[in-house]
Structure formats: C-alpha cells, structure tokens
Amino acid sequence: MLSTDENRAEEFRTSRGRLADAGRESTLQAVEDLARRVRLSDLDMIGRAGLGHIGGDFSVIDILATLYGAVLKVDPSRPGDPERDRLILSKGHSAGALYSTLAHCGFFPLAELETFAQPLSALNGHPNRTKVPGVETNTGPLGHGFPVAVGCALAAKLQGSARRTFVVLGDGELQEGSNWEAAMTASHYSLASLTAIVDRNRLQQGARTEETKQLEPLADKWSSFGWEVRQIDGHDYGEVLSSLDPSSTGRPVCVIANTIKGKGVPFMEDRVEWHHKVPNAEQIMAAREELSA
C-alpha cells in the first residue's frame, strides 16, 4: 500500500478549509487549477508508460477535480476513515485520471506517478484498493462499480450516517446490464445519499455510443428507474459543482455530465481513436502547450 504524502495532504486540508469560507469563484478557480495540473500529470504518465486511456481520462478529469477539490469529505491522511465520503470510479480504465487526482491531493507522492504501469508498480492499468489509498474497490471490468456504490450507500443508511457515495460511470459502460440492476436497487431503497455521475462523452472504444448500442433517451431511462436527473455541461465547473448538491427529492441523483472525450487538447477532442491511443513526443509537446495556455 502506498503511503500518504503528508505535506501535500496538509495543503489539501488547508485549501479545502479555506475554500469552505471563500466565495464560489475562488472554489471554481481552485478546481480549475487542480484539473489543469491533473491533466498535465496524466499526459506525462501516459506518455512515459506508453499506454493509458487518455481520451476518457480527459473527459472525466473536470468531474474528479470538482469532487476532490470541493465536494468529497475525505482526508488523504486517513484514507480508511469509516466516515469518509466514497468515490468509486466504475470506468476503471480511467485509472490515470484517478491516480493523478489522488496524487495531487496527497493520497500518495506525486513521484509515484512515474511508476505507472511499470513492473510491480502499485499503479496498475486499473485501480487496486489494496495498493492505492483512496481507491474503494477494484474496477476495470465494466458494470462493477455501481452495485458496489449501492452497497456503500446502503451501509451508510443502515448506520444512520450522513456520509455520501459517488460513482462515476462511463456512458458506454451503461450497456452493461448490472448497472440497471443497481439503479433499481438504489431507487427501491431510496438511497438519497448516492449520486451517479455519467461521463457522457458519447464515444466508446470502437465507435460512437449511439452507433454501437443506443443509450438515448438516457435521461428518461434514469427518470423511469426512479432517479432525480440533472443534465449538465461536464466541463463547466460551476455546473458540475451545483450538480453535486445533495438530493432534493429523497431519491438518488443521476448527473448526466455531457463531456468531450480528450477535452483540453483540440486534436484529441471527440475522436474515437484517442480512446487509448498514446501521444508521441511531438504530440505531447503540443498537448502540453494547449493545457498550459
């Protein structure tokens, strides 16, 4: 198990404490800054490792940065705190985005990112909770994270705890039937503390979701399963932040975050080949410039 970067963890706590009293603009600015740093680290990781899923990483990073930067009640120094909020990344192939986010928050040293996908590294191509603090369950095969998140929320309800559970789902992943089993269970048990966020980038590994197996009308599907649905621009930090407010209906909340695969690097954006294509040295330089601008 990797250990906490205590300096960065202290920065994380200080920053979150300060933002709690600061205005919304400062919060959004901090989230945007975190997202920029996470994208740059992820780009380096993938370039160095020669593998990764950069397209889906970049579509979900603004969501993860908002969660860790402004919403989740977590402490990188106490990743096993029973009362922590839970975040489960069901689209486990975006491990790079999660690792990079966790490292910038101090869950483990940033330098560890250099080991990504190297022999015996804790940072496998898909996240492992027994090695990486902050990871709640081992994901990778799709359709697994959501039922686990339902169990987390059920446990909180049984214990009378106010802690919240968030699960981030890929949109293509919703073709797995287990998600809809979980969606039914969550609404049956009125798990208002559970928020499912769909990274709706409209692309999956081989083609567009709607050409592969149609998901639309997606919001209607969630509504009919008994969920409170919020549709947002998944790259607008203000919209993402507001969408993560607790349920107002007593029902579980589904945020359909409309996103762009490869967001932030124009030549990668909304292009199916960047699902797991690895940028070459020249492309990394170009991407760096875009992200640093």
Partner 1 sequence: MTQEQAVQAPTYDCRKAFAEELIALAREDERIVAVCNDSVGSSNLTHFRKEFPDRLINVGIAEQDLVGVGAGLANGGMIPFVSAAAPFLTGRALEQIKADVAYSRARVVLCGQSPGMAYGELGPTHHSIEDLSWLRAVADLPIVVPADPNETRAALRWAATNGGPSYLRIGRHPVPALDGSEGPFVFGRSTEVRHGDSATVIAVGTMVSRALEAAELLGGEGVDLRVINMSTIEPLDAEAVLRAADETGAIVTAEEATTTGGLGAAVATLLAQSRPVPMRILGVPRQFAPTGSTDFLLDHFGLTANGIADAARSVLRHARA
Contacts with partner 1 by CB under 8 A lie at: 82, 86, 128-130, 136-141, 143-144, 146-156, 158-159, 177-178, 181-182, 184-185, 188-189
Residue type, 69: G
In sequence order, the 6+-apart residues with CB closer than 8 A to the CB of 137 are 88, 129, 144, 145, 148
Question: Length of the chain in residues, anyone?
Answer: 293
CA distance 13 to 75: 7
From the CB of 143, what's the least distance to partner 1, in Å? 7
Written as six digits, the tokens of 131 are 């090695």
From the CB of 185, what's the least distance to partner 1, in Å? 5
Helix (H, G, I), strand (E, B) or coil at 38: helix
From the CB of 132, what's the least distance to partner 1, in Å? 12
For partner 1, the closer CB: 100 or 165: 165
For partner 1, the closer CB: 139 or 259: 139
From the CB of 24, what's the least distance to partner 1, in Å? 31
For partner 1, the closer CB: 48 or 131: 131
From the CB of 154, what's the least distance to partner 1, in Å? 6
From the CB of 275, what's the least distance to partner 1, in Å? 21
Q: 179 forms bridges with which residues in the sheet? A: none
228-233: strand order across its sheet: 86-89, 165-170, 194-200, 253-258, 228-233
Q: 200 forms bridges with which residues in the sheet? A: 258
Distance of CA 220 to the CA centre of its chain: 23
Residue type, 172: G
CA distance 266 to 190: 41
For partner 1, the closer CB: 140 or 238: 140
CA torsion, ordered 2, 96, 221, 230, to nearest 10 deg = 90
CA distance 153 to 172: 24
Taking alpha carbons only, the member of 192, 143, 140, 204 closest to residue 166 is 192
From the CB of 92, what's the least distance to partner 1, in Å? 9
Helix (H, G, I), strand (E, B) or coil at 44: helix
From the CB of 162, what's the least distance to partner 1, in Å? 13
For partner 1, the closer CB: 18 or 188: 188
For partner 1, the closer CB: 58 or 99: 99
For partner 1, the closer CB: 64 or 149: 149
For partner 1, the closer CB: 50 or 160: 160
